Chains A and B, each alone.
Chain A
Amino acid sequence: MSNLLGKGMIDGLVVTAKNFVTSYFDGNRKDRLFTYQYPEERMKLPENSRTFPFLVYDGTPDQMRCTACKVCETECPPQCIYIVMERDANGKPLLRPRVFDIDISVCMQCGICAEVCPTNAIKMDCDFERSAHGRFETLLSHLPELLKSNDYYHQIKSAEATRVDATRKPVKKAAAPAPVKPMPTPADILTEDERSAWQRGCQSEIGTGPIVWPPPVVVKKKVAGTNTEQNVSAAPLPTGTPWHDSGIDIAARMELAKDRSLADKLMAAMAQLDCQACGYDCRGYADALASGTNSDFTLCTPGEEETKNMLEKLLKEAGKL
């Protein structure tokens, strides 16, 4: 201990005095005065810094990279992403999202969506000035706001964007046909309560069963001989593609598809995300494998090992390998 009582207190005074004086003669500003005077001066954000996700497009917003594969929607820990794939009049997937919403009041900026995206479509932005007056609508980002050009991506994260550009395979995508009729947004079909629950990310509050999306078109049809009307689905959803759900494992899917054609079986083995990582949509890849125009069964990235093994097994059984 100090031999003189009071020395410790004097020492402390010396330290604070030194800090007081040197804060005025601070060559390297971060040695003493470490705060940034925010609106005037801004920190240079490191390239890795992440805030909220955005979607990258090449060229024009039409050429978005996203294929609506829903990998990010599945993996997102707080479940703040909502995707609806665009389909043409016949229900054929167009490999692009019609609805892509991110609720940034729920998003926790973990960046897992960007990590798991097979097409490098979703990336993390650096823009942190996202405060808004409302809690719901203003903090819900829709597709148009989410889409940012590849140039913007280069601008904020040049090294990473260059790396991505070098590894990206060009994706053949059909030019977007004019949509037949506008797809209802959740705002149109959900009740007020359900909508707010959805916006709060409380999916469990909405109805009891899983949300069927897009909603089946329902027409009223007179039942013969009576005055009653019956609800009949006008255009049933395209069948034949056992619904992929992380709850349905591959064995169950194969069971569902066991009486179907080879192409259907192959497709059931896939992740069925239409992510285009293979260069086709899932149906196209299944057809190509079944017809033998493509024999590489390892292309389904989202499906990973189990899909590869199953595809190999199915193709071997069919004698295609």
Chain B
Amino acid sequence: MDAIYQLIHDYCPTMPDWLALALAILLPIAIVMGVFLTVFALLTWVERKALGRIQNRRGPNRVGPVGLFQPIADGLKLLTKEDIVPNAADKVVHFLAPVLVVVPAFMVLAVVPVAKGFIAVDLNIGVLFALAVSTASVLALFMAGWASHNKFSLLGAMRGVAQVVSYEVPMVLAAVVVLMASGSLSSVSIVEAQRGLTGWFVCKPWGLVGFVIFQLCAMAEVARTPFDLPEAESEIVAGYHTEYSGFKFALFQMGEYVAAITMGGITVTMFLGGYLGPGCDLPKFGWLISACWFFAKLGIIVVINIWARGTWPRVRVDQLLGFAWKLLLPLSLVNIVAMAVWHFAPNKLVGWVESAVLLAVAIVALVKINAGQTFEKRSYRFTS
């Protein structure tokens, strides 16, 4: 903010001070919004294209070259569609819900450092802010489901609420490790703490486990397959947004995808070294290269999401909650201990081995306890 203010001041000294200040505040927000809205549009295209290819289809290929303008066509179509509000719906809440879905998703963007020295707002509690704000989507989800006055919507909303609340816990605990390692809640300091060849937190045993937990929780939080129960189309039609059409539906989609992107951004920031990468410190184009690094890493997360969606079936609601409470929660607690062991170890090697062994034992034990009687091998006889 200050740098931009300085920049404006240098190039345009005649500009009144209040305008320069306002510009300095609004410009980064506008840029971040613009960039991420483009990324959102691109993501819908990439997702449909990639899912198509995974499923031996071509995906969108009619609008523009290789279907690149499909998101625009979709947006226009949804804009012009009739907006239907059920008679029995709670009109005000029904209207507010899609708006409230989008707001937290975009608010999280504020604390994601997209490039070196580029962040909308560098809050000193950045990560906590992101986690806190993303929980607020629960309410929007519930409002949508409840206000629609539809049983499928209500079921979807209750599932969604239970799911987000459950996965919030291991998610925060997985984030704690990172906070312990970096000693700060500010997203920029977390990124800066990951400098070095193997500095990324994901390259450490506790970081890897934390990353996996965090990624799984993020997928659950934004309801991506295999945790897409709130909108499980084969069970409860479209879940909480069953009764939405037109642009309200588009807002739900947008909120969901932007949330997926921002969650990916937070994951990248916390575990994959954010914008760090070779060349990110170059004086001239460092910011560009670092932005490329950030988006490349974000791309990997997004691809994992799409890939999983194209491959795995959905878990059931009790399995989903059991997974969070019985496996992820204890594991993330052990992970904190492992981080402590690492921190107080006499030297790096000992810390590595100790925390790795601790985590391995914990994982094996937890899996044994939980999955012991779940799967069985079947054999079939043939009569002739």
Please report A residues at the B interface, Cβ cutoff 8 Å.
1, 5, 9, 12-13, 15-17, 19-20, 23-24, 32-35, 37
Q: Does B316 contact A (CB under 8 A)?
A: no
Please report B residues at the A interface, Cβ cutoff 8 Å.
50, 53-58, 61, 307-308, 310-312, 367, 371, 375-377
| Alpha-carbon distance A16/B309, docked complex (angstroms) | 10
CB < 8 Å neighbour of A16 from B311, B367, B371: B311
Give the residues in chain A near B61, CB-CB below 8 Å. Answer: 37
Contact B375 A37 (CB under 8 A): no
Contact B312 A9 (CB under 8 A): yes
| Alpha-carbon distance A13/B308, docked complex (angstroms) | 7
Q: How far is the CB of B213 from chain A (nearest CB, A)?
A: 14
Contact B54 A19 (CB under 8 A): yes
Contact A19 B53 (CB under 8 A): yes
Contact A33 B58 (CB under 8 A): yes
Contact A23 B307 (CB under 8 A): no
Give the residues in chain B near A5, CB-CB below 8 Å. Answer: 367, 371
| Alpha-carbon distance A146/B58, docked complex (angstroms) | 38
Give the residues in chain A near B50, CB-CB below 8 Å. Answer: 20
Contact A19 B375 (CB under 8 A): no
Question: Which 7 residue pairs spanning A and B have beta carbons closest together?
Answer: A1-B377, A16-B311, A12-B311, A16-B54, A20-B53, A23-B53, A20-B54
Q: How far is the CB of B292 from chain A (nearest CB, A)?
A: 24
Contact B58 A37 (CB under 8 A): yes
Task: Using CB atoms, name the residue of chain B closest to A32.
Answer: B56
| Alpha-carbon distance A20/B303, docked complex (angstroms) | 12
13 A-B residue pairings within 8 Å (CB atoms) = A1-B375, A1-B377, A5-B367, A9-B311, A15-B311, A16-B54, A16-B307, A16-B311, A17-B54, A19-B53, A20-B54, A24-B53, A35-B57
Contact B307 A13 (CB under 8 A): yes
Chain A CB within 10 Å — which of B53, B308, B312, B375 has the most?
B53
| Alpha-carbon distance A23/B56, docked complex (angstroms) | 6
Contact B56 A19 (CB under 8 A): yes
| Alpha-carbon distance A107/B225, docked complex (angstroms) | 44
Q: Given contact pairs A17-B54, A19-B53, enumerate 13 new A-B contacts (beta carbons under 8 Å).
A: A9-B311, A9-B312, A12-B311, A16-B307, A16-B310, A19-B55, A19-B56, A20-B54, A23-B56, A24-B53, A33-B56, A35-B58, A37-B58
Contact B375 A12 (CB under 8 A): no
Give the residues in chain B near A33, CB-CB below 8 Å. Answer: 56-58
Give the residues in chain B near A15, CB-CB below 8 Å. Answer: 311
| Alpha-carbon distance A15/B57, docked complex (angstroms) | 15
Give the residues in chain A near B55, CB-CB below 8 Å. Answer: 19
Contact B312 A12 (CB under 8 A): yes
Give the residues in chain B near A9, CB-CB below 8 Å. Answer: 311-312
| Alpha-carbon distance A34/B377, docked complex (angstroms) | 35
Give the residues in chain B near A35, CB-CB below 8 Å. Answer: 57-58
| Alpha-carbon distance A268/B204, docked complex (angstroms) | 99
| Alpha-carbon distance A252/B275, docked complex (angstroms) | 96
- Contact of A17 with B307 at beta-carbon distance under 8 Å, contacts A1-B377, A5-B367, A9-B312 already known: yes
Give the residues in chain A near B308, CB-CB below 8 Å. Answer: 13
Give the residues in chain B near A23, CB-CB below 8 Å. Answer: 53, 56
Contact A13 B311 (CB under 8 A): yes
Contact A34 B311 (CB under 8 A): no
| Alpha-carbon distance A108/B55, docked complex (angstroms) | 32
Give the residues in chain A near B371, CB-CB below 8 Å. Answer: 5
Task: Using CB atoms, name the residue of chain B closest to A11.
Answer: B311
| Alpha-carbon distance A206/B376, docked complex (angstroms) | 65
Give the residues in chain A near B367, CB-CB below 8 Å. Answer: 5
Task: Using CB atoms, name the residue of chain B closest to A33.
Answer: B56
| Alpha-carbon distance A1/B374, docked complex (angstroms) | 11
| Alpha-carbon distance A34/B312, docked complex (angstroms) | 22
Q: How far is the CB of B313 from chain A (nearest CB, A)?
A: 9
| Alpha-carbon distance A178/B55, docked complex (angstroms) | 63
| Alpha-carbon distance A20/B367, docked complex (angstroms) | 31
| Alpha-carbon distance A37/B50, docked complex (angstroms) | 18
Give the residues in chain B near A20, CB-CB below 8 Å. Answer: 50, 53-54
| Alpha-carbon distance A5/B61, docked complex (angstroms) | 39
Q: How far is the CB of A250 from chain B (nearest CB, A)?
A: 52
Give the residues in chain A near B312, CB-CB below 8 Å. Answer: 9, 12
Give the residues in chain B near A24, CB-CB below 8 Å. Answer: 53
| Alpha-carbon distance A17/B54, docked complex (angstroms) | 7
Q: How far is the CB of B154 from chain A (nearest CB, A)?
A: 31
Q: How far is the CB of B119 from chain A (nearest CB, A)?
A: 34
Give the residues in chain B near A32, CB-CB below 8 Å. Answer: 56
| Alpha-carbon distance A248/B158, docked complex (angstroms) | 68
| Alpha-carbon distance A9/B308, docked complex (angstroms) | 9
Give the residues in chain B near A12, CB-CB below 8 Å. Answer: 311-312
| Alpha-carbon distance A17/B312, docked complex (angstroms) | 13
Q: How far is the CB of A4 from chain B (nearest CB, A)?
A: 10
| Alpha-carbon distance A24/B59, docked complex (angstroms) | 13
Contact B376 A1 (CB under 8 A): yes
Task: Using CB atoms, name the residue of chain A closest to B368.
Answer: A5
| Alpha-carbon distance A32/B55, docked complex (angstroms) | 9
| Alpha-carbon distance A19/B367, docked complex (angstroms) | 31
Give the residues in chain A near B307, CB-CB below 8 Å. Answer: 13, 16-17
Give the residues in chain A near B311, CB-CB below 8 Å. Answer: 9, 12-13, 15-16
| Alpha-carbon distance A19/B61, docked complex (angstroms) | 19
Q: How far is the CB of B224 from chain A (nearest CB, A)?
A: 15
Give the residues in chain A near B53, CB-CB below 8 Å. Answer: 19-20, 23-24
Q: How far is the CB of B59 from chain A (nearest CB, A)?
A: 10
Task: Using CB atoms, name the residue of chain B closest to A10.
Answer: B311
Q: How far is the CB of A39 from chain B (nearest CB, A)?
A: 10
Give the residues in chain B near A37, CB-CB below 8 Å. Answer: 58, 61
Give the residues in chain A near B376, CB-CB below 8 Å. Answer: 1
| Alpha-carbon distance A24/B54, docked complex (angstroms) | 10
Q: How far is the CB of A14 from chain B (nearest CB, A)?
A: 9
